[in-house]
């Protein structure tokens, strides 16, 4: 079928990804100016968006439900104890049935294959709401936040970010990082990643990330470090996430030990030579070990703006993928 899905930022061209971020920015600006959101108000009228969530969520659930409501549709939350999936029914059967009655499936899963298989068997667009490998909605919100914070410094050909922007990721190589790095490749941003040696980006994922630059008009770069100070050098933005993702709870003690020294602090940024006006991002939920209170709640922190931007990311993604009755609004390359 020619239904388009959003499983990773890798599913989007540079132009499509930029458009989602800029559409999100435009809808937010309209709302903040107190104007009625005319462009999106009726986009999902009488349509149902199924939300299959096998893990906890605050931001993704609330932003998706609020976005669908704003767009005139009905969000149907299906938690892991609500439906037969995984206990008494296969992904294939579940996807066939749910997609036959709804306009979109937004799914939060463990193994990425689960959301990929939902998409394979679905007759409507599937949007990944976090898998073990990717978190595209977070990446749209992160680049919206970066766009808002840096746009007065000019924008490169993507229209989203300034020339020569440098992002440093300090922490675990996880789902949030992978899509963020892909976004960097697409938009021409340089990203430096510092992880403990045993927690570096897996080789196949690194190859996938780098491949994303090949089709970008002016690709970004990615470099790997095992010392946080080296990664933050000249960074405009420092980003981290939890050291223990959902599903890794039994590794908590081992991970806390392995990540010692990776906490994002003002001192780390100073020692490493980050730009003096560096900004901080974190997708949340946050724990004190990965970032100091001073950074998290200080003037560099964009985390609450970033969290709020999840709403506008959801609006833009639903508009792009669903609002034309299951047909993507951008050109289908195939
Ligand atoms: N950032 C994010 O996805 O948060 P939730 O897990 O609360 O949805
Ligand atoms: N890396 C985290 C992100 C949560 C939004 C996790 O997968 O649990």
Question: What is the CA(97)–ligand 1 centre distance, in A?
Answer: 27
Q: What's the pLDDT tens digit per position in 231-277?
A: 999 999 999 999 999 999 999 999 999 999 999 999 999 999 999 99
Q: How far apart are CA 256 and CA 278, in angstroms?
A: 26
DSSP state of 199: G
Q: How far apart are CA 139 and CA 167, in angstroms?
A: 13
Atom of ligand 1 nearest to the CA of 58: 7
Axis-axis angle for helices 203-212, 175-187 (nearest 10): 30
Question: What is the CA(60)–ligand 1 centre distance, in A?
Answer: 5
Mutate to test the pocket of ligand 2, among 142, 174, 239 (most ligand atoms within 8 A of CB): 174
CA angle 255, 258, 261 (to 5 degrees): 120
Q: How far apart are CA 13 and CA 266, in angstroms?
A: 36
For residue 295, pLDDT beyond 90: yes
Q: With a 6 A CB cut-off, is 60 part of the ligand 2 pocket?
A: no
Atom of ligand 1 nearest to the CA of 283: 1
Question: What is the CA(64)–ligand 1 centre distance, in A?
Answer: 11
Q: How far apart are CA 229 and CA 225, in angstroms?
A: 9
Label residue 326 by pLDDT band (50, 70, 90). very low
Range with the poorest average pLDDT among 23-37, 55-69, 175-189, 296-310 = 23-37
- Report residue 246 as tokens: 């959902």
Q: With a 6 A CB cut-off, is 57 part of the ligand 1 pocket?
A: yes
| Segments of the chain assigned to CATH 3.40.50.1370 | 9-134+310-321, 138-307
Q: What's the pLDDT tens digit per position in 55-76?
A: 999 999 999 999 999 999 999 9
Question: What is the CA(240)–ligand 1 centre distance, in A?
Answer: 14
Q: With a 6 A CB cut-off, is 216 part of the ligand 2 pocket?
A: no
Mean pLDDT to the nearest integer, 205-229: 97
Question: Does residue 104 carry a catalytic annotation?
Answer: no
Question: 251 — phi, psi (to 5°)?
Answer: -95, 5
For residue 206, pLDDT beyond 50: yes
What interface predicted TM-score (ipTM) does this complex get?
0.99
Q: What's the pLDDT tens digit per position in 276-287?
A: 999 999 999 999
Q: What's the pLDDT tens digit per position in 6-19?
A: 999 999 999 999 99
What's the pLDDT score for residue 287?
98
The continuous run of DSSP H or E covering 76 comes out as strand 74-79
Q: Which residue has the tokens 């977070």?
A: 138
Asked if residues 194 and 163 have their Cβ atoms less than 8 Å apart, the reply is no
Answer yes or no: CATH 3.40.50.1370 is held by domain 9-134+310-321: yes
Q: How far apart are CA 45 and CA 260, in angstroms?
A: 50
What's the pLDDT score for residue 2?
80
Displacement of CA 105 from its chain's centroid (Å): 17
Across the chain, what does the average pLDDT equal?
A: 95
Q: With a 6 A CB cut-off, is 130 part of the ligand 1 pocket?
A: yes
**Using CA positions, which residue lies closest to atom 1 of ligand 2?**
245
| CB-based contacts of 97, cutoff 8 Å, min separation 6 | none
Q: With a 6 A CB cut-off, is 138 part of the ligand 1 pocket?
A: yes
Label residue 39 by pLDDT band (50, 70, 90). confident
Q: Which residue has the tokens 């679905």?
A: 122
Class of domain 138-307: alpha beta
What's the pLDDT score for residue 87?
87
SS (H, E, C) 25-68: HHHHHHHHCCCCCHHHHCCCCCCEEEEEECCCCCHHHHHHHHHH
What's the pLDDT score for residue 328?
52
* Ligand lying nearest the CA atom of residue 63: 1
Q: With a 6 A CB cut-off, is 131 part of the ligand 2 pocket?
A: no
Atom of ligand 1 nearest to the CA of 61: 8
Asked if residues 137 and 183 have their Cβ atoms less than 8 Å apart, the reply is no
Q: With a 6 A CB cut-off, is 176 part of the ligand 2 pocket?
A: yes
Q: List the catalytic residue out of 91, 283, 291, 317.
A: 283
Question: What is the CA(176)–ligand 2 centre distance, in A?
Answer: 7
Count other Cβ atoms within 10 Å, centred on residue 77.
Answer: 15
Q: With a 6 A CB cut-off, is 329 part of the ligand 2 pocket?
A: no
Q: What's the pLDDT tens digit per position in 117-152?
A: 999 999 999 999 999 999 999 999 999 999 999 999
Q: How far apart are CA 53 and CA 37, in angstroms?
A: 28
Question: What is the CA(245)–ligand 2 centre distance, in A?
Answer: 5
């Amino acid at each position: 079928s020619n239904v388009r899905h959003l499983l990773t930022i890798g599913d989007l061209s540079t132009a499509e990804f930029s458009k989602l971020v800029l559409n999100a920015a435009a809808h937010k600006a309209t709302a903040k100016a107190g104007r009625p959101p005319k462009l999106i108000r009726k986009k999902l009228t009488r349509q149902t968006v199924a939300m299959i969530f096998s893990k906890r969520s605050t931001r993704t659930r609330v932003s998706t439900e609020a976005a669908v409501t704003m767009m005139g549709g009905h969000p149907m939350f299906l938690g892991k104890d609500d439906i037969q999936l995984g206990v008494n029914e296969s992904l294939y059967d579940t996807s066939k049935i749910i997609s036959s009655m709804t306009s979109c499936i937004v799914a939060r899963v463990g193994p990425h294959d689960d959301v990929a298989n939902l998409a394979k068997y679905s007759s409507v667009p599937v949007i990944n709401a976090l898998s073990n490998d990717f978190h595209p909605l977070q990446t749209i919100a992160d680049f919206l936040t970066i766009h808002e914070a840096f746009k007065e410094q000019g924008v490169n050909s993507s229209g989203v970010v300034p020339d020569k922007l440098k992002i440093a990721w300090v922490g675990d190589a996880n789902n949030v990082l992978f899509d963020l790095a892909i976004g960097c490749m697409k938009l021409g941003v340089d990203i430096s990643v510092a992880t403990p040696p045993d927690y570096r980006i897996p080789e196949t994922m690194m190859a996938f990330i780098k491949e994303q630059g090949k089709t970008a008009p002016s690709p970004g770069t990615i470099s790997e470090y095992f010392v946080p100070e080296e990664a933050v050098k000249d960074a405009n933005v420092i980003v981290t996430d939890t050291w223990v993702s959902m599903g890794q709870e039994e590794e908590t003690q081992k991970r806390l030990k392995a990540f010692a020294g990776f906490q994002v602090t003002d001192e780390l940024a100073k020692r490493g030579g980050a730009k003096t006006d560096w900004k901080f991002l974190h997708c949340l939920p946050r724990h004190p070990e990965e970032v100091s209170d001073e950074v998290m709640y200080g003037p560099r922190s964009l985390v609450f703006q970033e969290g709020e931007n999840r709403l506008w990311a959801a609006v833009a993604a639903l508009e792009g993928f669903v609002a034309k009755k299951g047909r993507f609004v951008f050109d289908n390359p195939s």
